């Protein structure tokens, strides 16, 4: 029990010599209790989330923890308060634990995509994300997906899981493939940035410049921003996990952001998901335009645009 988050199966108890009679006596005196059929727990101690997840996997027919519960065990963003224990079970199984449980049935490749998280059989991160969307929605899945990339899960691993689970009638793998394409492959179209600039101009009366170069005092190019308001040093940059998701790229971006910050720039990041909901970007830009003071000096570049400099 100490090695299994406070729970054990009755089969394990029998293998250790605990007979049904001894078990019943211990349950009567409160030393043990049964949180679900076929499972024993230490009396007087509430079973933790991980204990409940472990207990659910002892139930007959259950193969692994899945969906939102798996996302919580993997530490994905947005699921730290997920309490329901989601499990994947074989057809016909009917586990009935004494705590909230959601049982999912599938003919998908569960065994091949099961890992252990602190001893608990759990669907892999890729398979978890491939199954999430129909149950929690696109936004929650996208947030979990982004955190998986930050935790170091490779795009290739997620791609492999999405393909393995892809089948007619399953929308989750398709959503995962869309997220992969948007975060790692696709480039936001220039037309989208042009429409964004037009909407900002219409809302706050300030024109944004397209593909604006920022140089330091020595004239060295620091960045070419997708959009910029140079008078207030506000920039907009498209992001992609293909180029910004791995640790070395994040370190490079941090140094580049530091250089831009030293020059007084505030950067608004744009991701593929913003293609559907540009209102977040517009609201952030509008706030910065209203609150950041104009710079005293902006020098023109050789291509007819403007470029900020520091004196």
Pairing of strands 101-105, 85-89: parallel
232 within some domain: yes
d(CA 117, CA 225): 42
Scanning 2-60, the segments in alpha helix (DSSP H) are 10-15, 20-28, 49-58
211 within some domain: yes
118 within some domain: no
Domain count, the chain: 1
d(CA 50, CA 310): 55
Instruction: Please give the pLDDT value at position 309.
Output: 39
204 within some domain: yes
Structure confidence by residue, pLDDT tens digits, 222-275: 989 999 999 999 999 887 655 455 556 666 777 888 899 999 999 998 877 677
265 within some domain: yes
Question: Phi and psi at residue 18, in whole multiples of 5°?
Answer: -85, 105
Sort 212 into a burial class: Cβ within 10 Å, 0-12 / 13-18 / 19+. buried
Q: What is the dihedral of CA 14, 15, 16, 20, to 10 degrees?
A: 10
Instruction: Please give the pLDDT value at position 242.
Output: 54
261 within some domain: yes
Within 10 angstroms of residue 172's Cβ, the number of other Cβ atoms is: 22
Domain extent, residue 289, equals 190-308
H or E element, residue 69: helix 67-73
71 within some domain: no
Structure confidence by residue, pLDDT tens digits, 94-128: 777 778 889 999 888 999 999 999 999 999 999 99
Q: Are 101 and 85 in contact (CB under 8 A)?
A: yes
CATH number at residue 201: 3.40.960.10
Is the model's pLDDT at 160 over the cut of 90? yes
297 within some domain: yes
Instruction: Please give the pLDDT value at position 308.
Output: 40
Question: Kindly report the CA angle at 84 between 5 and 111, in degrees rounded to 5?
Answer: 70
How is residue 300 written in tokens? 């023109």
How is residue 79 written in tokens? 């699921």
H or E element, residue 213: strand 209-215
How is residue 221 written in tokens? 């190019």
């Amino acid at each position: 029990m100490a090695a299994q988050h406070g729970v054990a199966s009755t089969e394990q108890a029998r293998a250790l010599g605990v007979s049904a009679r001894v078990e019943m006596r211990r349950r009567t005196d409160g030393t043990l209790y049964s949180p679900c059929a076929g499972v024993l727990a230490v009396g007087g101690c509430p079973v933790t989330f991980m204990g409940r997840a472990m207990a659910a996997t002892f139930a007959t027919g259950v193969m692994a923890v899945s969906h939102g519960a798996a996302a919580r065990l993997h530490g994905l963003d947005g699921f730290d308060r997920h309490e329901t224990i989601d499990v994947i079970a074989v057809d016909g199984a009917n586990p009935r634990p004494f705590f909230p449980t959601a049982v999912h049935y599938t003919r998908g490749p569960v065994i091949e995509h099961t890992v252990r998280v602190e001893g608990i059989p759990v669907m892999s991160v890729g398979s978890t994300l491939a199954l999430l969307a129909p149950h929690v929605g696109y936004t929650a899945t996208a947030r979990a997906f982004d955190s998986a990339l930050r935790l170091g899960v490779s795009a290739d691993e997620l791609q492999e899981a999405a393909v393995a689970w892809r089948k007619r009638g399953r929308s989750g793998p398709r959503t995962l493939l869309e997220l992969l394409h948007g975060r790692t492959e696709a480039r936001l179209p220039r037309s989208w940035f042009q429409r964004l600039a037009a909407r900002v101009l219409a809302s706050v009366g300030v024109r944004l410049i397209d593909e604006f170069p920022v140089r330091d005092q020595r004239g060295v190019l620091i960045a070419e921003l997708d959009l910029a308001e140079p008078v207030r040093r506000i920039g907009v940059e498209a992001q992609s996990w293909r180029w910004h998701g791995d640790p070395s790229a994040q370190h490079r971006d941090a140094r580049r952001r530091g250089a831009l910050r030293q020059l007084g720039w505030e950067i608004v990041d744009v991701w593929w998901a913003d293609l559907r909901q540009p209102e977040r970007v517009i609201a952030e830009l509008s706030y910065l335009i209203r609150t950041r003071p104009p710079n005293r000096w902006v020098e023109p570049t050789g291509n007819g645009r403007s470029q900020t400099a520091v004196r």
